Amino acid sequence: MKSVLVTGGAGYIGSHACKALKSAGYLPVTYDNLVTGWRDAVRFGPFEQGELEDRARLDAVFAAHQPVAVLHFAALSQVGEAMAEPGRYWRNNVAGSLTLIEAAVAAGCLDFVFSSTCATYGEHDNVVLDEDTSQLPLNAYGASKRAIEDMLRDFEAAHGLRHVIFRYFNVAGADPEGEVGEHHRPETHLVPLMLDAIDGKRDALTVFGTDYDTPDGTCIRDYVHVCDLVDAHLLGLRWLEEGKGSRVFNLGTGTGFSVMEVIAQSRAVTNREVPYQIGPRRGGDCTKLVSGSGRAEAELGWRPKRSDLATMIADAWRWHQTGHYEQ
Ligand code: UDP
């Protein structure tokens, strides 16, 4: 069985990726420091606890498991936190990824799939966001991811590191079988916060700004189901295994929803009121982030199956009611 090193495998997207890898016949080896991840979410292969910046630990893990590829999910990923503490983002995301990439090259593990973000694009009025759009991030989260993309290109030129970069739009939903799901501490994402507000686990949701230049004044995002997102990673891995070379792909559906539209859909799916209040804008938020690219569909053959808003919220709601991690 081929091993794949999954950094951040104890986190939201990484744990879903481990499940998909196992189903596809790979052995997912989770490498995670458990700062934001959950030990309970590591269910599909071995667990190795460690820091991205710990080169000796990474060398030992590469030697022990001989992975054929790296799927690099581990990162700090909150816009608000990135605005307040940019140093953590540059250190953890950029310096950590550098150490990981150097360890992968030293181990001869040269197929690398990287989780980047649409936050690298920044604010573009009326511009279709495809993979060639200029990257002008508004916050240290997006800036750190853009820097890692550049790093991968340099390591390809010098050391032959083949990479697929996925720029995620907004990931939502959960494993429909309920084995893994979304659980952040603290939670900052729209869908889980809204579900918490619906069943009284926290106070009303605050809508961050109603004065954006959008039809209802709230920000527009392109939501993609976590299971569809990880399916793309399997296709990306195969792409590299087939020697097709380094490539960047947006992962979004091309359809945007405003915060108010997400609230309305949640009310419809759960048949409950969504308690919310209007608040000021959150620093670092772009008005609209919607993928304008069909490259992943055209070149990878990616076909999102669960990324309609109702299914994503229904899957998230099921997990919200039945699943949780304790450690
Ligand atoms: N949002 C909001 N209230 C919240 C959390 C998020 O209004 O409590 C909005 C946020 O401004 C953005 C969208 O919901 O427009 C999605 O935010 P999230 O943090 O889920 O993802 P991001 O777009 O930052 O990756």
Whether residues 165 and 233 share a domain: the answer is yes
Dmax (CA) of the chain: 56
Contact in structure between 78 and 135 (CB atoms under 8 Å): no
Contact in structure between 319 and 175 (CB atoms under 8 Å): yes
Amino acid identity of residue 9, one-letter, is G
CB 170 less than 6 A from any atom of ligand 1: yes
Answer left, alpha or beta for residue 217, where phi above 0 means left and psi between -120 and 50 means alpha.
left
pLDDT score recorded for residue 283: 84
pLDDT score recorded for residue 29: 98
Nearest CA to ligand 1 atom 6: 190
Q: How far apart are the first and last CA of the chain?
A: 29
Atom of ligand 1 nearest to the CA of 282: 11
Q: What are phi and psi of 64, to 5 degrees?
A: -70, -40
What is the pTM assigned to this prediction? 0.96
Q: How far apart are CA 19 and CA 64, in angstroms?
A: 21
Q: Which of 129, 278, 282, 312 to mutate to test the pocket of ligand 1 (most atoms within 8 A of CB)?
A: 282
Whether residues 157 and 33 share a domain: the answer is yes
CATH number at residue 213: 3.90.25.10
Looking at 233, 251, 269, the residue that finishes a domain is: 251
Is 212 labeled as catalytic in the residue annotation? no
Q: Which of 12, 116, 208, 223 to mutate to test the pocket of ligand 1 (most atoms within 8 A of CB)?
A: 208
Positions of the chain with pLDDT under 70: none
Whether residues 259 and 235 share a domain: the answer is no
CA-nearest of 57, 62, 68 to 24 is 68
Whether residues 294 and 194 share a domain: the answer is yes
Q: Which domain holds residue 217?
A: 190-221+254-322
CATH number at residue 46: 3.40.50.720
Whether residues 276 and 200 share a domain: the answer is yes
Whether residues 126 and 99 share a domain: the answer is yes
pLDDT score recorded for residue 186: 87
pLDDT score recorded for residue 122: 87
Task: Specify the residue for token string 């989770």.
Answer: 30
Count of domains for the chain: 2
Whether residues 148 and 53 share a domain: the answer is yes
Whether residues 102 and 209 share a domain: the answer is no
pLDDT score recorded for residue 285: 87
Neighbouring C-beta atoms of residue 85, cutoff 10 Å: 15
Mean of the per-residue pLDDT values of the chain: 96
Residue 300 lies in a domain: yes
Whether residues 22 and 127 share a domain: the answer is yes
Whether residues 213 and 230 share a domain: the answer is no
Atom of ligand 1 nearest to the CA of 172: 20
Whether residues 266 and 156 share a domain: the answer is no
pLDDT score recorded for residue 86: 96
Whether residues 143 and 266 share a domain: the answer is no
Classify burial at 196, counting beta carbons within 10 Å of its beta carbon; exposed 0-12, middle 13-18, buried 19 or more. middle
Residue 179 lies in a domain: no
